[in-house]
Amino acid sequence: MDELMRSASEMIRAPLDLWLPASPGDYIENPGYLKFDLMTRGIRVSETLLQDLHVRPVKDSARGVGSGIDLLLPEDVWVNTPVREPFVASSPYRLGRDDDGWRVVIDPPLDEFAGRWVSVGVGPKPRFLEKTLSTGRRTSAVVALQGELLILDIGNREEYWNRRLSSRRGEGLDLSGAEAPSVAEALEIVAAAAEEGFGGDVYVNAGLSLEPDGGLRKVEPYVQALKRHFNPLVRLAASPPVEEAWVDHAYAIGVDSIAYDIEVFDPRTFREVAPGRAGQIGRDRYLERLSRAAQVFPNGAVTSQLILGLEPLAESLKGISALCELGVLPLLSVFRPLQGTGLEDWPTVETISVAPVVAFLFHCARRHGIGMIWGRGISNEMTPLEARFFTTEDATAQVKRSKFYRSRAGAVVARNLAGLRRALRVRTVRDSFDSAGL
Amino acid sequence: MRPPDAIDGSAPATFVVDTRPISRVLLTRSKRFFVLLGLFLLFMVIINLPVPSGLTPKGLKCIAVFFACLGLWVTSVIPLSVTSLLAIILLPMMGIIESSRAYGKFGNEAVFFILGAFILAGVTMKCGLSSRAALVVLQKFGGAPRRLVFGVMFCSFLLSLMMPEHAVAAMMFPIVSEIARSLGLRSDQRKYAISLYVGMGWGAIIGGLGTLLGGARGPLALAIFQESTGGKISFLDYMLVALPVALMLLPVAFLLLIVFLRCPLPDVGIARDALRARIHAMGRMQTDERATAAVMVLTIFAWVGWGHHIGLANIAIGSVVVLFMLGVVQWRDVEQYVNWGIILMYGGAICLGWALEDTGAALWIGKLTLARLADTPFLFVLSCAVITLVLTEGMSNSAVVAMLLPLGLSLTRDMGLDPRIAVYAIAIPSGLGFSLPMATPPTAIAYSSGLFTFRDVAVGGILLDLLAWGCFILTTWLYWPLIGLSLMGN
C-alpha cells in the first residue's frame, strides 16, 4: 500500500489524502467503503425476502452476467451488489428488514462487529417493469433499472462475451435468449417509465461492435426516437469507432454522455484478459476516441470503466491518471470471478488494499477539473464523487450540484442545457459548404 | 457542392462539432443576431437623419439601404443573393423607385449573359470537354517538374478565359489531386504538391481576369455601367484592357511560385503516364463533345466579333438554345450547374447600383470618400485599385464591385473622366485576391486540399497581390493611353 500511496502522491504532486477506517467493521459507517465492499463481496438475502417484498427483480448486471440487487446507501449512494454468486455465502453482509425498513447488517464471520447495521433503501419495483409490451414481451425481459438509470441493452451479449472478441471474463457463459428491444418497444417502455418518474436518464448499451462505426448506426434510430419523443439524457456505452467523425456524429444525433470502457489499462494485461478486443479494436483506439470524445462532449460526460483486480493496482493508478489527463471521467468497478468462466480462479481484491486507488480517483479527477456530476445514479461502478468517501474531503460544491441535478427541477435544467449546448456546437457540413459559397 | 455521403462504414460527413471554448462558440453563433440588430439600428438612424446639403431625401434613404446591404454583403450573415432580394424590395417600399422599375432592373442583359455563360460552362464540364482539354494541355507540359507546375497553371489560365474561374478550379482539382497522388511525393517534397494546387488556383484567378467569361464580376460591372451611363463596353473592349494584365501576371506568378515553394523536385514521368492513362480511358471525342466544342468556338467568335452589335447576352442565350436543339444538354443539367444564387445576387446589385446613381447618393458618398483620397485622375485609379484589392481579399469580389462601382462612376463623371475608367479600375482589381481562401473560389478550392495553410503561402500570396496591383497600375500608365483610355479629363 505504501508503494501505491507514493505513486499516487507523485502523480497528483501532493501527499495523497486517504481516509482509512480503523477496522473492516467501520466500513458500514462509510457509504464509499460500504459500496465497494458490497460490490466485491455481495450481500446475503433470502429468496423469500426477495420474492415477497416489492423490490426490483434480481437483474443480470454488468452487461448480462452475474446477479445484482440495487441498494440505496446513505448519502444517496447507489450500489449494485451480487446476491446469487457462490462467493456471496461468505459475505459478512446480510440484507434484513424490520418495521423501520431495510438494513444492511453485519453477520459472522466478522463476529466482533456482528450486529452493526445501517439503514438502506432498496430500489423500488416500478410497475412498468411488470408490464407486458404490445409485442407480447415482458418489459423486464428487455430493460433493466440500475441505480437511477434505465438500461436499454441493444448490443449483442453473446458477441460481447465471446472469447475471441472480448474477454476471458465471460468465457463459457450461457447468454442465449436476450434479444434487443425494437425501437417501438423502447419507446413504449420509456413512455411507461416516464409515467412513474423514471426514464429521465436512459443508458443505451450498444455492447461490443467490430463495425467501423462502433455500433452507432444500430443505436442511432433509438437515440433519435427517444430524443424526439421524450428528450431524456441519453448515455451511451459503445465500442470506439474506427474514424473519429463517428464520435462527433454520436454527439450530434443526441447522445449526451458516452462511455468507451477500456476496463484494463496495462497493455500486456489487456492483451491477456481481452484478446479479442486487443486484436480487433486495440487499446490505442480506445484512448484516441476517448480523447476526441472529451473534446466533443460536455466536461465529465465521457467515461471509461477500469476494473480493479484484473491488473496490478499500480497500473490502475496509471490508467486513472491517463484517463483524467484526456479529460475522461474514470469509473471503477471491481472484478467478480464467475464460475465456469476463463477467469474463475483469478484472485479478488480486498477493499482496504484498493483504498489508495479509489482515493486517487477523486483527487485526480478534481485536479484535472473534470466534472463529476455525470457519475450520478450509477450503482455498479464507483464514481469519482463517491470516491471522496475514501478521503477526508467533503466536496461540498460538487455534492450540491449533483443533488440539484438529481432533483426534478435539476433534471429539466440538465436536459435543456444539454440541448442548448448541442444546438450551439453542432453544425451540419451542408451549412458549412453553403456559407463558404461553394 | 454537396458534402459526400457516407458509404459502408466510413464516417458520415454530416456533422461538425465546434470544440472551441463555449464563449467563442456563443460569440460566433450570436454574430448573426448582433450584426442584424446593428444594421437595423444603423438603417433607422440614417433614415431619421436630417437630409444633408447636396443630397435629396430619396438619396438619404437609398444610402440607408446601401449601408444595410453593404453590411450584409460584408458580413455574409445572410446569403449574398438574399441581401440582393432585400435591396429589390426595400427600394420600392421606401419610395425610392417604383416596384416595376426595381424588378425591371433585375432583368438586365448582364444577368442573362451570366446565366448563359454558366450554362455553357456547365455543358462543357458535363460532356467532359473541359477535362479532355485540361488533360491534353497538361500532358504537353508534363516532361519536367517545373514545366508540369506551369502546365497546371497555364491550363487553369486558359480555361478560365472561357469559363468561370470557380468552375475551372472545381474541374481541375481532381486532376491535380491525381497528379499529386501518382507522384508519390516524399515529405520533403510536400511543397511541390502545394505548388501544384496553388498554381491551379492562381492560374484560374489570373485567367479569370482576362475576359468577361472568367467571373461574373465583369458582366456585373458592365451592367452597372450600362444602367448608370447608358454606354456600352463590348466583350473585345473589356478583353483588350484586361487580358494584358493577365498575360503580365502569369509568368510573374509562376516565378513567385517556384521561388517560394522551392523543394527537391520529383520525377514527374509517372504523372505523365497517369495523365496518358486518363486520356486513354476517356476514349475518342464523342459527338456531344464535338458539338459543344463547335458551339463554344462559334460563341467566342461571336462575342468578340459581333458582341457589340448583337449583344453578349443574346449570343450566350442563343448558344444555349442551340445546344438544347442539338440535344447535348438536358434541363436537369442546367439545374445542377447554374448557381442561381449568383444570378439573384447580380440582379439586386444592379438595381441598387442604379438607384444610388439615380438619386445622386453615389456621387455624394463618392465625394465624401474616394474624392478626398484622389484629387487627380491617376490617384483616383490608384485609390480605386487599392481599396478594391484590399476589400476583395475579405469579401466576395462581386459584392466589392456592387459596392464601389456606383460611387466610382459618379466620381468619374464629376471629374470629367471617361466613366469606363471606373469600370476597369474596380472590376479588374476585384479579381486579384491571391492570399486568403475567402478572397476567391479558386483559392478556397486549392485550400480545400488540406495540404497547406495560409502561412505556407502567405508571403507569396501577399507579394503577388502587390505585384498584381503594380502590373495593373503599369498598364493604366503605359498601355491605356494606347487604346484610347485617357486619364486626362475631357
Quick one: A115 exposed, middle or buried, by C-beta within 10 A (0-12, 13-18, 19+)? exposed
Q: Give the one of A421, A430, A435 whose C-beta lies nearest to B3's C-beta.
A: A430
Task: Tell me which of A210, A249, A251 to substitute to probe the interface with B (most B C-beta atoms closer than 10 Å).
Answer: A249
Task: Please give the average pLDDT of every successive group of 10 residues along chain B, which has 490 residues.
Answer: 40 74 84 91 94 90 89 80 89 92 81 82 83 80 84 90 81 79 77 88 92 85 86 88 93 90 78 80 85 89 78 88 91 81 78 83 78 77 86 72 86 86 92 73 72 73 89 90 72
A177 at B interface, C-beta within 8 A: no
A127 at B interface, C-beta within 8 A: no
- Any idea what DSSP says for residue B11? P
Residues A10-50: tens digit of each pLDDT: 888 888 888 888 887 888 889 999 999 999 988 998 877 77
How high is the pLDDT of residue B312? 79
How high is the pLDDT of residue A64? 43
Instruction: Provide CB contacts within 8 A for B2, sequence distance 6+.
Output: A430, A433
How high is the pLDDT of residue A176? 46
Cβ–Cβ under 8 Å, residues B261 and B198: yes
How high is the pLDDT of residue B319? 92
- Residues A285-310: what's their mean pLDDT? 94
Domain assignment of residue A438, yes or no: no
How high is the pLDDT of residue A358? 94
- Tell me the pTM: 0.66
Chain B residues with CB within 8 Å of chain A CB:
1-3, 8-19, 22, 25-26, 29, 76, 79-80, 166, 396, 438, 441, 444-445
| Element containing residue B158 per DSSP (H, E) | helix B145-160
A211 at B interface, C-beta within 8 A: yes
* H helix intervals, A254-395: 267-273, 275-280, 283-296, 313-326, 351-367
* Intra-chain end-to-end CA distance of chain B, in Å: 48
Q: How many domains, chain A?
A: 1
Nearest to residue A234, comparing CAs of A209, A206, A213, A263? A206
Instruction: Name the average pLDDT for chain A.
Output: 83
Question: Closest approach of chain A CAs to the CA of B100, in angstroms?
Answer: 30
Say whether A248 and B16 touch across the interface (CB within 8 A): yes
Weakest mean pLDDT among A128-142, A162-176, A189-203: A162-176
**In terms of pLDDT, which residue wins out, A404 or A87?**
A404
Domain assignment of residue A142, yes or no: yes
User: Which CATH number belongs to the domain containing residue A205 in this structure?
Assistant: 3.20.20.70
Q: Give the one of B10, B76, B445 whose C-beta lies nearest to A435's C-beta.
A: B76
Of chain A, the percentage scoring pLDDT greater than 90 comes to: 37
How high is the pLDDT of residue B204? 92
Domain assignment of residue A84, yes or no: yes
Domain assignment of residue A437, yes or no: no
Rg of chain A over CA atoms, in angstroms?
Answer: 21
| Element containing residue A427 per DSSP (H, E) | strand A426-428
3-class DSSP state of A304: strand
How high is the pLDDT of residue A433? 39
Question: Closest approach of chain B CAs to the CA of A219, in angstroms?
Answer: 14
Cβ–Cβ under 8 Å, residues A228 and A180: no
Residue A365: pLDDT over 80: yes
Say whether A434 and B79 touch across the interface (CB within 8 A): yes
Say whether A249 and B79 touch across the interface (CB within 8 A): no
3-class DSSP state of B12: coil
Residues B215 and B220: their CA atoms lie apart, in Å, by 9
Cβ–Cβ under 8 Å, residues A307 and A335: yes
Task: Please state the φ and ψ torsions of residue A9, each to the nearest 5 degrees.
Answer: -65, -40
- Residues A323-333: what's their mean pLDDT? 95
**A323 φψ region: left (φ > 0), alpha (ψ -120 to 50), beta (else):** alpha
Cβ–Cβ under 8 Å, residues B25 and B318: no
Q: Which range of residues forms the domain containing residue A97?
A: 2-424
pLDDT range class, residue A60, cuts 50, 70, 90:
very low
pLDDT range class, residue A357, cuts 50, 70, 90:
very high
**In terms of pLDDT, which residue wins out, B196 or A60?**
B196
- Residues A405-426: what's their mean pLDDT? 90
Q: Give the one of B9, B14, B26 whose C-beta lies nearest to A424's C-beta.
A: B26
Chain A hits for B29, CB-CB cut-off 8 Å, are 424
Instruction: Provide CB contacts within 8 A for B460, sequence distance 6+.
Output: B198, B256, B257, B259, B260, B261
Domain assignment of residue A433, yes or no: no
Max avg pLDDT among A126-135, A334-343, B236-245: B236-245
Rg of chain B over CA atoms, in angstroms?
Answer: 23
Task: Please state the φ and ψ torsions of residue B333, each to the nearest 5 degrees.
Answer: -65, -40
Residue A434: pLDDT over 80: no
Task: Please state the φ and ψ torsions of residue A305, each to the nearest 5 degrees.
Answer: -90, 135
Q: Say what the ipTM of the complex is.
A: 0.72
Domain assignment of residue A435, yes or no: no
Question: Closest approach of chain A CAs to the CA of B303, in angstroms?
Answer: 28
Cβ–Cβ under 8 Å, residues A307 and A334: yes
A432 at B interface, C-beta within 8 A: yes
How high is the pLDDT of residue A54? 54
Q: Which residue of B has its CA nearest to A432?
A: B16
How high is the pLDDT of residue B299? 87
Domain assignment of residue A102, yes or no: yes
A248 at B interface, C-beta within 8 A: yes
How high is the pLDDT of residue B395? 64
Domain assignment of residue A279, yes or no: yes
Of chain B, the percentage scoring pLDDT greater than 90 comes to: 20
Instruction: Provide CB contacts within 8 A for A265, sequence distance 6+.
Output: A306, A311, A315, A316, A318, A319, A322
Nearest to residue B152, comparing CAs of B207, B98, B87? B207
Task: Please state the φ and ψ torsions of residue B339, each to the nearest 5 degrees.
Answer: -90, 95
How high is the pLDDT of residue A112? 62
Question: Closest approach of chain B CAs to the CA of A154, in angstroms?
Answer: 19
